[in-house]
Amino acid sequence: MQDTSLGANQARTDGFNWGTATAMFLFHVGAVAALFFFTWKAFFVACFLWWVSGSWGIGMAYHRLLTHRGYKTPKWLEYFLTWCATLALEGGPIFWVATHRIHHQFSDEDGDPHSPRDGKWWSHMGWILTGRSMHHDTTTLARYVPDLTKDKVHVWLTKYHWTSNVIVGAILFAIGGLPWLFWGVFARVVIGLHSTWAVNSVTHLWGSRRFATKDLSTNNFLVALLTFGEGWHNNHHAHPVSARHGIAWYEIDTNWYGIWLLKKLGLARHVYKVSLDNLPPKPALTRDVKAAELAASAAAAND
């Protein structure tokens, strides 16, 4: 039986996640406070950690390595990249991967944890603040991530995912004081969160479509820049296992460049990728079809 309990209707009946909401509020306050403690050193430290957490972590580890198994690495490197992902404060690997696999199973249908069909705000941030979504225990999530729940390191990283920011925050404060702390942790985390959430919301609302997928996914250049390549979302939904999302030469995909470098260094193997040159003519290319138009068409058909 398929579990569709992570959709908006079910989640809204489960109440407000006060713990998550409080943490989000405090981090946003810290991000605003960072504006009053600006230094160039603190800014560049934040940029570096944003790249480490967002590219090495979320894009290369959580998404393309753990969720879709688009490539393989030695276990020590897998664990290191996963630790980098915990710096993004988007939950531990078990929660993140399970939620994303469910998203692909029910993309823009009943059961999708964060579809804009349930509202723009819901798809961006509401699904985090309301309901169960990423707050199941590992036993409940085991059916979606059996590969991770059997791994003691990933279970530990999931349980203590928050400790990475405590450790890094303490080091930053010791070296650079409040400016490094506010920029390297609070501002960096908030920018990273909204960038990732934009993949869930913006790329399912606005952008161009190369492939006629069944969902509302689009390719969005701005989101791709902010997420190191995750914004080529229509490409990804058409070929989810591919470790390369930017399949045209002009589609900047920093996460793919990192995976490519790992392969050249002998640290990545079984790398699956697609390119426009080796794709069959079907499914037909459907450029510049807006997700909003598809949603309107679907609504009209239902009527």
Global pTM reads 0.86
- Token output for 58: 């979320």
Q: What is the pLDDT of residue 188?
A: 98
Give CA angle at 59 (161, 202), nearest 5°: 105
Q: Characterise 111 by phi-psi region: left (phi > 0), alpha (psi -120 to 50), beta (else).
A: left
Q: What is the pLDDT of residue 143?
A: 86
Rounded Cα–Cα distance for residues 50 and 165 (Å): 12
Q: Measure Cα distances from 237 to 71, 159, 233 in Å.
A: 17, 29, 6
Q: What is the pLDDT of residue 140?
A: 63
Phi, psi angle pair for 241, to nearest 5°:
-80, -20
Q: What is the pLDDT of residue 280?
A: 60
Cβ neighbors of 293 (< 8 A, separation 6 or more) are none
Cβ neighbors of 232 (< 8 A, separation 6 or more) are 219, 224, 245, 246, 247, 251, 253
Alpha helix (H) residue ranges in 214-253: 221-226, 233-238
Rounded Cα–Cα distance for residues 173 and 148 (Å): 33
Q: What is the pLDDT of residue 137?
A: 53
Domain boundaries, the chain: 41-302
Q: What is the pLDDT of residue 136?
A: 54
Q: What is the pLDDT of residue 71?
A: 98
228-261: b (≥16 Cβ within 10 Å) or e:
bbbbbbbbbbbbbebbbbbbeeebbbbbbbbbbe
Ordered per-residue pLDDT tens for the chain, 303 residues: 334 344 444 444 457 788 889 999 999 999 999 999 999 999 999 999 999 999 999 999 999 999 999 999 999 999 999 999 999 999 999 999 999 999 999 999 998 889 999 999 999 998 988 855 545 555 667 789 999 999 999 999 999 999 999 999 999 999 999 999 999 999 999 999 999 999 999 999 999 999 999 999 999 999 999 999 999 999 999 999 999 999 999 999 999 999 999 999 999 999 999 977 766 654 444 333 343 333 334 333 333
